[in-house]
């Protein structure tokens, strides 16, 4: 899982620094977000947030490494496998606020929904509106992996 966020490292001044970091989702939830288990992927210098167009320069190297991990690598040694272990990794989630996700994923709206949730927004007064519980029984429909595959590659 990748996250992009900005923070102000200095008191008394307006300076926004960005950080791109990853969490390993197959770690148990209680240790997944501990500092020692987070992977720092990039720092985005200030004084202002990096624009949507310039962030691609930072993301290019991260994408190259993710492609490398997708094809698989061999770790020389792990705690459980002293003679090494072949691993594969995949990005399964980008977890950011809406302004950051628009920069990192190029999503134009908040209509990109959870794979399990069928709740959709309506567009009223130039804003997405997720209110209303009328059709709640239709939201939580489990989709098959074949349906995900078809939506991704079909």
Can you tell me the distance from the alpha carbon of 111 to that of 120, in angstroms, rounded to the nearest whole number? Answer: 7
Distance from C-alpha of 6 to C-alpha of 137, rounded to nearest angstrom? 37
Cβ neighbours of residue 52 closer than 8 Å, sequence gap 6 or more: 102, 103, 106
For residue 107, the SS3 value is: coil
Of the candidates 31, 55, 32, 53, the residue with the CA atom closest to the CA atom of residue 44: 55
Q: What is the rounded distance in angstroms from the CA atom of residue 16 to the CA atom of residue 14?
A: 7
Q: What is the pTM of this model?
A: 0.64
Q: What is the pLDDT of residue 151?
A: 65
Helix (H, G, I), strand (E, B) or coil at 142: coil
CA distance 85 to 79: 10
What does the pLDDT read at residue 115?
Answer: 47
In order along its 154 residues, the chain shows pLDDT tens digits of: 999 888 888 888 888 888 999 999 888 889 999 999 999 999 988 888 888 778 888 888 998 999 988 889 999 998 899 999 998 888 887 888 777 777 777 654 545 455 445 555 555 666 555 555 555 566 555 656 677 667 666 6
Residue 95's closest CA among 104, 86, 108, 87? 104
Angle at 144 between CA 139 and CA 145, to 5 degrees: 130
**Helix (H) or strand (E) segment spanning residue 40:** strand 39-44
């Amino acid at each position: 899982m990748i996250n992009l966020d900005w923070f102000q490292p200095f008191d008394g001044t307006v300076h926004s620094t960005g950080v791109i970091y990853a969490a390993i989702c197959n770690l148990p939830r209680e240790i997944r977000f501990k500092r020692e288990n987070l992977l720092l992927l990039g720092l985005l210098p200030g004084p202002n947030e990096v624009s949507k167009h310039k962030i691609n320069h930072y993301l290019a190297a991260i994408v190259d490494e993710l492609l490398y991990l997708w094809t698989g690598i061999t770790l020389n040694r792990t705690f459980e496998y002293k003679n090494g272990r072949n691993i594969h990794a995949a990005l399964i989630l980008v977890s950011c606020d809406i302004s950051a996700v628009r920069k990192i994923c190029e999503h134009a709206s908040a209509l990109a929904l959870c794979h399990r949730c069928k709740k959709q927004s309506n567009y009223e007064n130039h804003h997405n509106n997720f209110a209303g519980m009328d059709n709640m029984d239709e939201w939580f429909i489990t989709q098959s992996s074949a349906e995900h595959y078809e939506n991704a590659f079909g």
